Structure formats: structure tokens, C-alpha cells
């Protein structure tokens, strides 16, 4: 276009001096090429806008608007020139938009939408500049005051001014940096304040430390931000779900890496801001890690306790069968052989054998009692039938109600039986009860046992320690309601 219009000039609104005809052709081609380039440039920006993420769209939005205005003004200039407008009138708006709007849109993308870290640079530079000016003002003011007080030739003014300025320099810079940061780098100050408030809420118990990831995402303006916690066997998120080894900003405590923060949007400004935010959020992140470790340790203890209880229940069952089917049967068989031998003895020897057989019968009774205490064999028929057999021998009426029971392992079934048995025994021995009620039911997948009587009550708070420990061994809970003179109700969930 410059070559085509090299000798041209405008005289009274008409373009003259274009010379050879090829210049006009070249000018037309130039206009077409310029138009194609502008359309291609706009199409490129539009393509990046539609294909980019949220942050990229924010960066391009203002540039897209400015570029559209520039193109429209250029097209309008062409139209104005075609209708006889002067070159100044036709293209001055286009040139102003090109010079002012495009840089302004890029500046907005830089300052507001993380294109470059200009806001931080501007904030730091301005804070030191204002600090320098304020320090010079303090120095001059102190010199003037001291000189007037002690005399202009004393030489004390500069020394006193230097001393006062040195004392005020760092506090003054800290105050000015905070004030200017709120004006020039407001996003960073607001983000830091939000994270500081969250950390304070965590310390006060008003919020959970596991919310730190969401808080950092909002403060950073990055929904893709993720926190990974270091574990002895790898990495996990805040919920304890294993994740692959991350790459990002490392969090350290005592020289050990305790976590890693990964950004969804990477830039120098984002990394610097994240470093500031993480310093504030370090305590909630570490508390989250410790809570996760504690929960897993408690879960492992609970699993270990369950395994021990199951092993104990299995051992009880084996011991009960050994007593019933082993020693007890052999003693009975020995007694029968002695009876058979007794018939062939004289009266004196027969009396001795009779005494021995009596001792064997006592031993068998003792073994049956021990076997029943370890694990009653009637539990093989189910919890309901086992309690029916137990309550048949009660000297006072017992109302037994058995609802539909959930599936339960050996440990829980035995615990429920022993709770009901011991509660009924206590009511018979100590409560002077005239009637006892036993109810078996379900609470979700748990067994419930409720034993009530109309006795004297008065069980002290914290009583029935052995019964509480038995229920707690299978992860259950026990409640005792025993007002004096109002009977006793024992409720257990196992």
C-alpha cells in the first residue's frame, strides 16, 4: 500500500499524483490483502477464545473487543473515504483505537487476568518508592526540628535524623506495602486475607482443616488446584484416596516433604501467589495430614480388635466343644465302667467305688458349668432359642420378645447372649425383681438387647464395668437407666 501511494497526495479532497496505472492495481490488491490479514487475525483470536479455558478467555476477552473495534473503525474509514471524507477524518479514529485500545486491553489482561505479574511488581516498586519519599521527609523534618531546637551549627540534626529514619524505615515500609498492596494488588491481599481467616477458623474449631483445598482453589482462582499428602507408602488426597506422585509446590516440615500442591493453571505469577497462600495455609494442611494418619491408625486398631475378638470367639467355641465332646464324655465313660465294675465287688469296695462315681458326677457338673460359661452349646440353634433355654429356669416370670435379627458373627452373637444372661442374673440376685423383660431386636445391621426389671434400681453411674467392657470389645455401646426404686433398664447395641 505504501508503494502504491508513494507519490499520491490529497488536493481538495481528491487523490492526485498516483502515477502509473499499476499503482492503482497494486493499491487494490493491498487493500484486499490487508482485509484478509485482519479477518485472519480476528479469526485466530476467536479460535483461541473458544478453544481456551476460563482463564485464557478472560485474557483474550478485552483484546477481542478492542480488536473488533479497530476492525470496525478501519472498515468505517474505508467507507468514509469512499464517500469523500478526508484521510484525517476517515482514519484518525482507527489510528487512535489501534494506539490506545489494544495496549489498554493487553494491560487489563496483564493486571487483572494473570498474563504477567505486573500488579505485584507495581505494588512492590511503589511501596519502596513511597517509603523512600516518606523516609526523606522524616529525615528533613527531624533535621529542621533539631536544628531549630539546639542551633543550626550544632551538627546534631543530621545524626538524630539518621537515627530516627533508621528506626522508622522497616515499620514504615511494612505499613505502606500493606496499604499500597490493597490498592494495587488487591486480588492477592484479598486471597491472603481469606486464607488467614480460614486458618483462624480452623484453630478455633469453626471449620474443618480438610476444606483447605477448596479454600485455596477459591483464593487462587484455580479450580484445578489439588493438594496431595505424603504417606509412608505413597501419596493420597485429603480423603485418603491414593494418587500418583504429583509434581508441584512442595510443603516441608522439619526437612521432610509432607505434601504437594499442584496448580491447574501454571504461570510465574500463579506460583508466587501460591507460595504466599501456602505459607498461611500450612497449619490446616498439616493438621489434615495428621488427622488422616490418626483415622487410619484408629481404623487399623479397630480392625485388629475385631480380629482379636473373632479369634477369642472361635477359641471359646473350640474350648466348649472340647469340654463337651472330649473330657466330659471320657469322664462319663469312666463312670459307666466303674458302675459295671462295682457289681463284681464286695460291699465295702462297692461303697468306695460309689464315692468315686459321685466325685466324677460332681466333676461332670462342674465341666458343664464351665463349658456353659465359655460358650453355651445351645447357641448353635440361634440366639433366640439359647435365651429361651436360659430363661426357663428363672424363678420369676420373664417376658422374652425376639424380633427379626440381622446376620451376626460369632463374637456379636455370644456378646448379646452374655449381656442378656448377666443382666437377668443381676436382676435375680440384687434387684428383688418380680418380673423381668428381655427384648432382642435390630438397629440397622446391629443387634440390640434390652433387659428391664421392676426391682429396686439404684445402680450407680459407671457401674456394671465388666458388662460395659464386654460390649465395648465388639465396638458396641451400653446404657443403664436405674433410678432408685424405679427398676433398671439395660440397653446394649452390639
- Cβ(230)–Cβ(257) below 8 Å: yes
Domain stops at, among 356, 374, 392: 374
How many of the other CB atoms lie within 10 Å of CB of 208?
14
Give the residue ranges of DSSP H helices in 323-404: 328-342, 347-374, 383-391
- pLDDT winner (highest mean) among 154-158, 240-244, 449-453, 455-459: 449-453
Q: Looking at the structure, tell me whether residues 419 and 341 fall in a common domain.
A: no
Extract the C-alpha cell encoding 433. 425383681
Extract the C-alpha cell encoding 338. 466303674
Asked whether residue 364 is domain-assigned, the answer is: yes
Per the structure, the complete domain to which residue 75 belongs is given by 9-112
Confidence of residue 243 (pLDDT cuts 50, 70, 90): confident
Q: Give the separation between CA 99 and CA 55, rounded to whole angstroms.
A: 25
What's the pLDDT at 36? 92
Q: Looking at the structure, tell me whether residues 270 and 337 fall in a common domain.
A: no
Asked whether residue 229 is domain-assigned, the answer is: yes
Asked whether residue 294 is domain-assigned, the answer is: no
What's the pLDDT at 182? 62
Q: Looking at the structure, tell me whether residues 384 and 460 fall in a common domain.
A: yes
Q: Looking at the structure, tell me whether residues 430 and 358 fall in a common domain.
A: no
Query: Average pLDDT, stretch 411-433?
Result: 83
How many of the other CB atoms lie within 10 Å of CB of 434?
11
Q: Are strands 398-402 and 436-443 parallel, antiparallel or unpaired?
A: parallel
Q: Looking at the structure, tell me whether residues 389 and 477 fall in a common domain.
A: yes
Q: Looking at the structure, tell me whether residues 322 and 336 fall in a common domain.
A: yes
More confident residue, 105 or 330: 105
- Exposure string of 126-155, with b = 16+ CB inside 10 Å and e = fewer, is bbeebbeebbeebbeebbeebbeeeeeeee
Asked whether residue 302 is domain-assigned, the answer is: no
Asked whether residue 332 is domain-assigned, the answer is: yes
What digits encode the pLDDT tens for the residues 460-473?
777 777 788 778 87
User: Which among 420, 408, 409, 411 is positioned nearest to 444, based on CA atoms?
Assistant: 408
What's the pLDDT at 155? 60
Asked whether residue 292 is domain-assigned, the answer is: no
What digits encode the pLDDT tens for the residues 248-286?
888 887 777 888 888 887 776 777 778 888 888 888 888
Q: Give the separation between CA 30 and CA 26, rounded to whole angstroms.
A: 6
Mean residue pLDDT of the chain comes to 78
Q: Give the separation between CA 48 and CA 42, rounded to whole angstroms.
A: 10
Q: Looking at the structure, tell me whether residues 397 and 484 fall in a common domain.
A: yes
Calculate what percentage of the chain has a pLDDT beyond 90.
1
Q: Looking at the structure, tell me whether residues 137 and 172 fall in a common domain.
A: yes
Domain count, the chain: 5
Q: Looking at the structure, tell me whether residues 328 and 435 fall in a common domain.
A: no
Asked whether residue 94 is domain-assigned, the answer is: yes
Asked whether residue 300 is domain-assigned, the answer is: no
Q: Looking at the structure, tell me whether residues 354 and 319 fall in a common domain.
A: yes
Q: Looking at the structure, tell me whether residues 417 and 405 fall in a common domain.
A: yes
Domain stops at, among 94, 112, 130: 112
Domain stops at, among 59, 77, 112: 112
Q: Answer yes or no: is pLDDT of 114 > 80.
A: no
- Going from the C-alpha of 479 to that of each of 23, 243, 351, 482, the distances in angstroms are 104, 43, 55, 10
What's the pLDDT at 343? 73
Residue written as cell 467355641? Answer: 317
What digits encode the pLDDT tens for the residues 173-197?
777 776 766 665 667 778 888 888 9
What's the pLDDT at 33? 93
- Exposure string of 228-252, with b = 16+ CB inside 10 Å and e = fewer, is bbbbeeebbbbeeeebeebebbebe
Q: In sequence order, what DSSP letters do the residues of 2-13 get, joined into one string?
A: TTTTTT-EEETT
Q: Looking at the structure, tell me whether residues 191 and 280 fall in a common domain.
A: yes
What's the pLDDT at 121? 64
Q: Which range has the worst mean pLDDT, 138-152, 275-289, 366-380, 417-431?
A: 366-380
What digits encode the pLDDT tens for the residues 11-55?
665 666 556 677 778 888 998 998 899 889 878 878 888 887 676
Q: Which range has the worst mean pLDDT, 2-11, 113-122, 397-406?
A: 113-122
Amino acid at each position: 500500500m505504501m508503494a502504491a501511494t508513494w507519490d499520491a497526495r490529497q488536493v481538495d479532497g481528491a487523490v492526485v499524483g498516483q502515477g502509473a496505472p499499476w499503482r492503482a492495481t497494486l493499491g487494490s490488491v493491498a487493500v484486499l490483502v490487508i482485509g484478509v490479514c485482519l479477518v485472519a487475525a480476528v479469526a485466530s483470536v476467536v479460535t483461541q477464545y473458544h478453544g481456551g479455558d476460563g482463564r485464557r478467555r478472560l485474557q483474550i476477552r478485552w483484546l477481542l473487543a478492542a480488536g473488533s473495534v479497530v476492525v470496525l473503525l478501519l472498515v468505517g474509514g474505508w467507507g468514509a473515504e469512499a464517500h469523500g471524507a478526508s484521510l484525517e477524518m476517515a482514519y484518525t479514529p482507527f489510528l487512535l483505537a489501534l494506539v490506545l485500545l489494544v495496549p489498554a486491553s493487553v494491560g487489563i489482561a496483564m493486571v487483572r487476568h494473570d498474563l504477567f505479574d505486573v500488579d505485584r511488581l507495581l505494588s512492590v516498586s511503589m511501596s519502596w518508592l513511597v517509603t523512600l519519599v516518606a523516609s526523606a521527609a522524616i529525615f528533613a523534618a527531624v533535621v529542621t526540628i533539631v536544628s531549630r531546637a539546639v542551633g543550626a551549627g550544632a551538627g546534631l540534626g543530621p545524626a538524630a535524623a539518621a537515627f530516627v529514619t533508621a528506626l522508622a524505615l522497616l515499620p514504615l515500609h511494612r505499613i505502606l506495602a500493606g496499604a499500597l498492596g490493597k490498592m494495587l494488588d488487591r486480588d492477592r491481599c484479598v486471597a491472603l486475607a481469606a486464607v488467614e481467616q480460614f486458618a483462624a477458623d480452623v484453630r478455633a474449631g469453626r471449620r474443618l482443616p480438610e476444606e483447605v483445598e477448596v479454600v485455596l482453589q477459591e483464593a487462587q482462582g484455580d479450580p484445578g488446584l489439588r493438594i496431595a499428602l505424603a504417606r509412608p507408602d505413597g501419596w493420597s488426597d485429603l480423603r485418603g484416596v491414593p494418587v500418583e506422585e504429583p509434581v508441584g509446590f512442595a510443603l516441608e516440615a522439619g526437612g521432610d516433604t509432607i505434601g504437594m500442591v499442584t496448580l491447574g493453571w501454571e504461570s510465574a505469577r500463579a506460583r508466587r501467589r501460591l507460595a504466599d497462600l501456602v505459607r498461611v495455609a500450612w497449619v490446616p494442611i498439616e493438621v489434615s495430614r495428621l488427622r488422616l494418619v490418626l483415622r487410619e491408625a484408629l481404623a487399623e486398631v479397630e480392625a485388629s480388635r475385631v480380629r482379636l475378638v473373632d479369634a477369642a470367639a472361635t477359641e471359646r467355641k473350640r474350648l466348649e466343644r472340647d469340654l463337651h465332646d472330649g473330657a466330659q464324655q471320657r469322664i462319663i465313660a469312666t463312670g459307666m465302667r466303674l458302675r459295671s465294675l462295682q457289681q463284681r465287688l464286695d460291699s465295702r469296695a462297692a461303697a468306695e467305688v460309689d464315692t468315686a462315681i459321685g466325685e466324677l458326677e460332681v466333676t461332670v457338673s462342674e465341666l458343664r458349668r464351665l463349658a456353659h460359661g465359655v460358650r453355651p452349646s445351645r447357641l448353635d440353634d440361634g440366639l433366640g432359642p439359647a435365651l429361651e433355654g436360659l430363661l426357663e429356669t428363672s424363678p420369676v416370670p420373664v417376658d422374652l420378645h425376639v424380633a427379626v435379627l440381622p446376620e451376626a458373627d460369632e463374637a456379636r452373637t455370644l456378646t448379646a447372649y452374655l449381656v442378656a444372661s448377666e443382666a437377668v442374673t443381676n436382676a435375680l440376685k440384687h434387684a428383688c425383681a418380680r418380673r423381668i423383660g428381655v427384648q432382642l431386636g435390630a438397629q440397622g445391621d446391629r443387634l440390640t438387647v434390652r433387659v428391664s426389671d421392676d426391682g429396686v434400681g439404684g445402680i450407680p453411674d459407671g457401674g456394671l464395668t465388666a458388662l460395659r467392657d464386654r460390649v465395648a470389645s465388639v465396638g458396641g455401646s451400653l446404657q443403664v437407666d436405674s433410678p432408685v426404686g424405679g427398676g433398671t433398664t439395660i440397653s446394649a447395641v452390639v
